[in-house]
C-alpha cells in the first residue's frame, strides 16, 4: 500500500509541475472580459473576442470556454485549451479527465536575451545558454559561434 501511495504522490507532483505551459500569472480577472484599444472592444493585440484587455488580466490556470482562442499581447501570448501530461508513470483516469478541461495558459515574452524559439545557426555570445520546453526541457548553448542543442531531458 505504501509503495502505491508513493507512486501516486509522484504522479500528482509531476502533474502539478508539468501539466501547463506556464506558471499562473495575472490578477485573477476574467479572460472573457472586454478588450480595449480598437474601438470595437478588442485590444490591438487580441486575436479572439474571448481575449482579455491585457496580458496581466488573463486568469492563467483558470477554466475557459473559448477552446482554441489565442491572444497575443506585447508582454506574451495566451491560449485556451487542454493541458498536456508530463510524467513517466501512466496517469490515472482522474488526472486525464482533469487535463482535458480547457484552461487559460500563458507564456510571457522572454527577457533573458534568448530567442523565443530554439535557435540554430550562428550566435555571437559564447557560452550563452537558452532553455526550451515545458516538459522535456532542452538547453541550447552558443558554442564556437554556433547554437548547439543539448539532449532533451524528460521526467522519468
Torsion of Cα atoms, 131 then 119 then 24 then 102, to 10°: -120
pTM over 0.75: no
Which pLDDT does position 106 carry in this prediction? 96
Which pLDDT does position 46 carry in this prediction? 56
Q: What is the mean pLDDT of residues 37-52?
A: 58
Neighbour order of strands in the sheet with 76-81: 70-73, 76-81, 103-108
Instruction: Report which of 62, 69, 78, 19 is spatially closest to residue 48, judged by C-alpha positions.
Output: 69
Which pLDDT does position 155 carry in this prediction? 85
pLDDT at 138 over 90: yes
Do residues 28 and 22 lie in contact, with contact meaning Cβ atoms separated by under 8 Å? Answer: no
Do residues 80 and 66 lie in contact, with contact meaning Cβ atoms separated by under 8 Å? Answer: yes
Rounded to an integer, what distance in angstroms lies between the CA atom of residue 34 and that of residue 43?
8
SS3 56: helix
pLDDT at 54 over 60: yes
Q: Dig out the grid coordinates for 37 from the structure.
A: 484599444
Q: How confident is the model at residue 21 (pLDDT cuts 50, 70, 90)?
A: very low
Q: How confident is the model at residue 79 (pLDDT cuts 50, 70, 90)?
A: very high
Amino acid at each position: 500500500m505504501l509503495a502505491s501511495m508513493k507512486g501516486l504522490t509522484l504522479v500528482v507532483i509531476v502533474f502539478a509541475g508539468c501539466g501547463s505551459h506556464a506558471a499562473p500569472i495575472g490578477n485573477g480577472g476574467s479572460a472573457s472580459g472586454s478588450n480595449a484599444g480598437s474601438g470595437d472592444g478588442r485590444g490591438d493585440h487580441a486575436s479572439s473576442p474571448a481575449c482579455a484587455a491585457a496580458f496581466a488580466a488573463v486568469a492563467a490556470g483558470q477554466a475557459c470556454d473559448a477552446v482554441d482562442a489565442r491572444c497575443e499581447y506585447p508582454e506574451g501570448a495566451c491560449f485556451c485549451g487542454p493541458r498536456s501530461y508530463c510524467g513517466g508513470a501512466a496517469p490515472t483516469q482522474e488526472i486525464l479527465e482533469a487535463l482535458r478541461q480547457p484552461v487559460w495558459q500563458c507564456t510571457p515574452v522572454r527577457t533573458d536575451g534568448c530567442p523565443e524559439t530554439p535557435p540554430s545557426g550562428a550566435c555571437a555570445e559564447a557560452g550563452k545558454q537558452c532553455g526550451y520546453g515545458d516538459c522535456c526541457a532542452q538547453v541550447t548553448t552558443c558554442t564556437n559561434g554556433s547554437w548547439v542543442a543539448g539532449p532533451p531531458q524528460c521526467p522519468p
